[in-house]
Amino acid sequence: MSALSGESSRVNLRGWSARSVAGIVMALFVLFFVIPIVWLLLAVTKSAKSLIVSNPFSAGSWSDLVANWHQLFAFQDGAVTTWIGNSAVYALGALVITLVVGVPAGYALALTEFKGRRALLVLTLVVMLIPSTALVLPIFLELNSIGLIGSPLSVILPMSFFPFGVYLTYIYFSTSIPRDLLAAARIDGCTEFQVFSRIALPLAAPIVALVAFFSFVQNWNNFFLPFVMLPSSDGYPVQVGLTSLLAATPAFNPSSAGSDSVQLPTLALATIVSILPVLFVFLFSQRFLVAGMTAGGTKE
């Protein structure tokens, strides 16, 4: 059975022409997805002038990269460093709360019985489908009334409410964990908490990683919530900070030409720097993520 499962579930594309068409389509999409990224990586190694006059896919120089780097981190006396630190605090703080709160909740919704279970399940789905920005302004007013606006908690707490993560764990626990296994553990004398921590949680490691991944990426990239909650530049996460950089780029905002202005390659560098942590997580977790996505089919 397992010897077969790798290859034979794949559908054969027969025929030379069908394969070429399929190959061309896939290759075109590779170009579509990759060209902007390759260009971006090259753009940061150029001066503002050579970015415009040289071939888009030529490499610049190390010295230009260093110069861009210095210009970026000198912007508003090192504001970029502050923003990145803020992003880390917000994203990681919310991630920890999300996991601690969400994974047990998904487990309970899938495999235990309690009053209001179905109501909470429906509520989870409904809130998951609500455009989160529809709640941003009301949450703003709610937190405003208890004086949390501008505090890190005003973004961490709302971000740590992650019904999508609960839904994912719920689906996983209810479809991929055999109930008989849990029943056997109970017969063997496990308490309910041990059933969760020793049996279900280890089996769910791939989905926990998946939730952690989605949560971190979403938190790091969140724009609207911090945009509304944090009035002061000191509290910006880097995503919101990018708007300050954009506003200081004469190429896109002619009125900003001045001493603290930002050149195009520097703005490109800011774009890369702003996503570096997420990029690392992507590169680092690729194998793990795919394993998580397909775990249900391979655990036998």
Partner 1 sequence: MTIAPPSDQLTAGASERRRPARQNGRTAGRTPIGYVFVALYALLTLAFGVVPALYAVVLAFTNANGGFAGITNFTKVVGDFRFWPAVLHVTIYLVIWLIALVVFVVGLALLVHAVRVRWVSTALRFVYYLPGALAGASSVLLWLFVLDPTASPVSGLLKAFGFNSFVAVIQPGHLPAIFAIIAFWTGAGGWIVIMYGALNNISTEVIEAARVDGANAVQTAIHIQLPMLRKWIAYMGVMSLAAGTQLFVEPQLLSQASNAVVPNDYSLNQLAYQYAFQQNDFNGAAAISLLLLVVALLLSWVFVTRGGLFEKE
Residues 6 or more apart whose Cβ sits within 8 Å of residue 162: 94, 98, 102, 211, 214, 215, 218
Nearer to partner 1, 101 or 209 (CB): 101
**In angstroms, what is the minimal distance from the CB of 63 to partner 1?**
20
**In angstroms, what is the minimal distance from the CB of 30 to partner 1?**
5
**In angstroms, what is the minimal distance from the CB of 10 to partner 1?**
6
Contacts 24+ apart (CB under 8 A), 21-24: none
Residues 6 or more apart whose Cβ sits within 8 Å of residue 113: none
CA atoms lying within 13 Å on the CB side of residue 132 = 18
> Tokens for 122?
């429906």
The Cα angle at residue 172 between residues 170 and 177, in degrees rounded to 5: 110
Compute CA distances 158 → 163, 167, 211, 224, 240, whole Å: 11, 17, 16, 12, 17
Nearer to partner 1, 61 or 298 (CB): 298
Nearer to partner 1, 63 or 294 (CB): 294
Nearer to partner 1, 70 or 118 (CB): 118
Nearer to partner 1, 129 or 205 (CB): 129
Whole-angstrom distance, CA of residue 287 vs CA of residue 292? 9
**In angstroms, what is the minimal distance from the CB of 139 to partner 1?**
5
Nearer to partner 1, 11 or 16 (CB): 11
Whole-angstrom distance, CA of residue 160 vs CA of residue 142? 16
**In angstroms, what is the minimal distance from the CB of 259 to partner 1?**
21
**In angstroms, what is the minimal distance from the CB of 73 to partner 1?**
17
